[in-house]
A and B are shown apart, each in its own frame.
Chain A
């Protein structure tokens, strides 16, 4: 069902989870006042307001200090949780709902606070890697996480009889801490982005936690006192619905509901139970990513509403029109403008015309400046949210660029070749590919001319493994004076590998060992230049190990390194070749002498060939069938007119068309990519083995890769 949107205001830029709805106090309940909203924005302004007759009624507002990164509500356990805590820089501040600051506490963290969680007198904060737990503002536990921390939370302190911090980490796992060390590491199918307690309190035992994942799934976990973790359910949605950015639980009409906000701009309301997978009830989509979501009666007392903030700072409410009295108001408002609203419009109008005047004055000043002065002009930077992440289900990368102002156009340039998948639904921008001149060292030049009011550009892309490049985006907002900002994305050579934590007993048969006079951090840098998902700093000081899995061929790649040595173990011969080339290039640049030892075994080759063929066969079959279908459909024998003249087999085929097409679009160009991988394998095998190819064998292989019949005899084309 649809939700009905009401725009309240346009705030400045607000970081994720920096808008909260205050719980109903007893006073308010007596006076039947709607709930209050608290927002901390990126300039450092904290403001609390109430919606009165559709207008913002400011209750308090502080002066700007520093970017607020998280807002939490707390209070003594067992009382109304209406104390406001916010983090800025390394400082945590506390405000009462009257706007009085009662706490300003410097955590002394060596990085700015990224995540914060408050319950009772426990304060949990984390930067990118450091986690700290304070009890009554006294430092009690610290933990240095080797991976990036995305979110932190603790289970119900009372019910669990103690603090049990949970860290959502970038290496696809949750780390459950006990005092200052990891007690349990629990791996998930995708990167956890946000954590939220089930029904806001952790469920009846206080030990259930909701996890929102990068691939758009939501998982409900039950964590026992001994840190053992069970998955109660996993809500699986199509990956195109987008990463989860915020979660809240909200009870209305006597039922619990799960509120989800996504990066794609979609807001979903699900029914919520511990023992069964949620069912979608309402849905709304906006064009920007959602930054925070809350439930509350903020407009009228007792009228449930979903309060949402989006990337550029819109604060809007979503109501369930169908069920509530609002219906009448809405019907009216299309014809008669309500008086309150009229006043609101007038107010904003005056504000806008004041601004227009001011802008005109400043514009002239600037124009004068450009006429005379030769002093440099530097324009203020706009906030850009850029994400590039791997979608393992569809074997592609998502590139999302979101800007605080409307985008006029985006120019993408890359020195390695990338294929973009043009999809209608994601954006309406007009694409234009430009020819690349050889001498300019470009492989890709694309411009996207955005339609009016676009603040987000979502793209999908893939490339062949092996190329090392940098994708540069020049983003020009629709603002005077015109300027553009540059974003760079590394295209790593083994970009279709993903960190994994599978327990493998199997040992790959081929290896590459490198030794030389390089430091641990150099080895770390070299590896992270080739493989995605490696944290900024090496996990430990001695021997570091990472395990990767190729999402296309499913081959395992094991790398371990320490000072002066790197060990790679894999059956993926191409990966060995790519890593070898990259390492030697990096070493040469730094003038480090390397000793390289490698062994590639025949069994690795066979494993690779079989893995590729297995998938290639499916794709070739699908491709052939689709071609056949389109040919059959051209015949004047139509299944509906005279079906008897066409065999049953073909009729079935035609009825399968949509399914086949869907499968093909799910893994775009996989057939071509597998064929390219096989050819690369062929080249690398001969190169690394120092063998000469049979004349014309590469052409023969290329030919053989086109049809299923010839695939089985493929291995004979390799020189052994």
Chain B
């Protein structure tokens, strides 16, 4: 039985590499047009060639989001664009508009079509309809439950991909235009300004804070159940998230998935990964509709602050085996004596106490104070390129 896929978001080439090196089986990316994260850096067609080459050399895949709700003006050039990105080596398209499905299925039968959660597919009948249209995989509405997902898989045989981690919408995907009306930014074409996170007066009461904001999603404790019902892919949200966030989230889910298949998953391990995931989040999390109808416990009301996270200390560029010195680029302030750990793309984690910190010319520093400053630190353990140093979990 093949392992469930871990699918991660890549807003640019650096994020793509981090995701794949840290254990994602596939990444989803956006082009510079037609994707629902219009303000991420995204990929040009020539960058997609490099992205696909990098992923395919690792035996991994790249999916391209093409999931805007098209307006007339977006149609011009779309077919040529699809032709070009197929040549770039894209493994699948994630789409929502059905006319795009028809074109890809007809012209590129070997390239998979995945239907985006933007289409809010939520039942067996719709899945069968899309299967008949040639769709290989569906990312259903995030409003459906474990039981409903299981029933869809059993009755349709279509590959199902579900979101397991990250920000959630308050409203059904595709059914929200708050952003259009309040900020003139088109939510269904990637311009969402997250009006659902604003505070409102209700019934003319000046001091009332009516909010609709949701907590983030975290399914870490349900991965075994999700594997058991036959879900094909686990998706992490966040094409605009930092590399540290992505490395941590991907690495934790990689470990949890592998432990599920090895029968080594314990409550202690889950507690550890849950804590690690919590350290990179700036919001509380819940399971939303997965195990019960979402209610007030899945939302935020008053008094919430989004705290910036300063646990990410540095990224490792290289390791000098002979002198046992790693070269890093600083991200947040730290000083000698800090209890740190290094997470590596291979999944290894090394804990240590920082002794001396040197600058690039090996002058001793009293602290690492400047983001992106090149630093050197002695450590008697071979550290992999792209490893990340953080405060010990």
- Please indicate whether A and B come from the same complex rather than being unrelated chains: no
